[in-house]
Amino acid sequence: MLVDSPPQPRDGTTSAPPAPTAKRRTLRAAGLFASVGVLALVAVASIAVGAKPMPLGDVWHGLFHSSGTANDVLIHDVRVPRTLLGLLVGAALGLAGAVMQALTRNPLAEPGILGVNAGAAAAVVSAISFLGVNSLTGYVWFAFLGAGLVSAAVYLLGGSRAATPVRLALAGTAASAALYGYINAVQLTDSAALNQLRFWQVGSLAAADMATVAKVAPFILVGVVVALLLARPLNAMAMGDDTARALGARLTRTRVLSMVVITLLCGAATAACGPIVFIGLMVPHLVRAITGPDLRWILPYAAVLSPVLLLGSDVVGRVVTRPAELQVGIVTALIGGPVFICLVRRRRMAQL
C-alpha cells in the first residue's frame, strides 16, 4: 500500500477545558429552577382568574386561612381542584409525549400515534352506550382500561420482543384508525351517548373536582417517577438498538416499562379530561430546543413546562370569552398548532 497517512492532528491533547460542559449543566439546572417558578406563577393565576376574578389577597386567604367565605368555597371546591388537575394532567401528557418520542424514535409520536387516546375513548364510548355509565368517576376506569388494552395490543402487533420504532408507530396508527371508526359508529347510532361525549372529547378541566384529582393522582405520580427512572436507558436506546444493547441496556424491559408508563400517564390524563391534543407533541419539542437530546433533562423539563402550557391555556380559555369559557383542549390546539408549525419549519425534523 503506497498511501502514506498524513500526520494526524491530535488536537485536544494540548488543552481540553471541560468548562463549557459544566457551564451548560449549571445553565440547565438554573433553567429548570426558573421553570418551576413560572409554573408556580401560572398556578396562582389559575386560582385567581375565572368567571369571578379574585384578588390575590383572597387567593392567599382561601388557600391558607380558609374561613368559609364565598370566595374560600369557590377556591376550595372549584379553582384548586381544577388547578391541581391541570398540574397533574399537564405533567402526565408532557412526560408521556417525551417518553413516546424517545421510545419510537419518532419526533411526531404523541398519545394519538400509539393508539392510547383512541383506546381510552373507545372504552368510554362503550361504557356510556352499552353499560349506561354516566359519571366522570365512572369514565376514569374505563378510559384507563381501554388505554391499557390498546397499549398492550399495539405492543404485540408491533412485534413484541422484535418491536421496532416504525412497527410500533404503524401498529398504533392502524389501531387508532380502527377504534375511531368504532367510536363514530357507536356515536351515530346512539344520540344520547353522542351528547355526553361531545364535551369530553374536546378536552376540558372544567369538570374537575377533588374526587377526580384523588382518583388519577396515584397513577400519574407513579408514572412520573418511573418515567424519570427510564431517562438513562432511553438515552442509550436513542443511539440504536445494537449500541444500546452493547452498552448493557435491557431493551425489552425498557420498552415494556415505557409502554406501562405511557398507559398510566395518558390513560389517567385522558380519562380525567378527555383527549387534550398537542401538549404531548409540542412540549417535548420546545424542551429539546432548550436542553438538547439528553432525556435526563428533557423529562424533568417536560414535566414542569407542560403544566405551564396546559394551565396557561386553561386560564386564557377562561378569559377570552368571559363569562363563558373555552375548553382547554381547544385553546391548546389553537395555540399549539401555529407554534408547532413554526417549530417544524425552523428545526430540521429527524427522519422517521
Partner 1 sequence: MQRLSAESVTLGYDQRVIAKDLSVEIPDRSFTVIVGPNACGKSTLLRALSRMLKPSEGRVLLDGQAIHSLPAKKVARTLGLLPQSSIAPDGITVGDLVARGRYPHQGLLRQWSPEDERIVQESMEATGVGGLGERYVDELSGGQRQRVWIAMALAQQTPLLLLDEPTTFLDIQHQIEVLDLCAQLHEEQGRTLVAVLHDLNQAARYASHLVAMRDGEVVAEGAPASVVTAELVERVFGVRCQVIPDPETGTPLVVPAAPRRSLVG
Q: Which residues bind partner 1 (CB under 8 A)?
A: 1, 3, 5-6, 8-13, 16, 18, 20-21, 105, 229, 232, 235-236, 238-240, 242-243, 245-250, 288, 292-294, 348, 350
Q: By C-beta, is 47 or 230 nearer to partner 1?
A: 230
Which is closer to partner 1, CB of 39 or CB of 168?
168
CB nearer to partner 1: give 8 or 191. 8
Shortest Cβ distance from residue 36 to partner 1 (Å)?
21
Based on CB atoms, which residue is closest to partner 1, 209 or 241? 241
CA separation for the pair 171, 174 (Å, rounded): 5
83 contacts 74 by C-beta, under 8 angstroms: no
Is the Cβ of residue 234 or residue 308 nearer to partner 1 in the bound state? 234
Work out how close the CB of 21 gets to partner 1 at its nearest, in angstroms, rounded to a whole number.
Answer: 6
Dist CA 115 CA 266 (whole Å): 10
Minimum Å gap between C-beta 160 and partner 1 is: 15
Q: Which is nearer to partner 1, 49 or 103 (CB)?
A: 103
To the nearest whole angstrom, how small is the minimum distance from the Cβ of residue 4 to partner 1? Answer: 9
CB of 228 to partner 1, least distance (A): 11
Query: Minimal distance in Å, beta carbon 238 to partner 1?
Result: 5
Smallest distance from partner 1 to CB 13, Å: 5
Q: By C-beta, is 19 or 70 nearer to partner 1?
A: 19
Cis preceding-peptide flag for 307 (omega within 30 of 0) = no
Q: Which of 163, 126, 139 is nearest to 259 (CA)?
A: 163
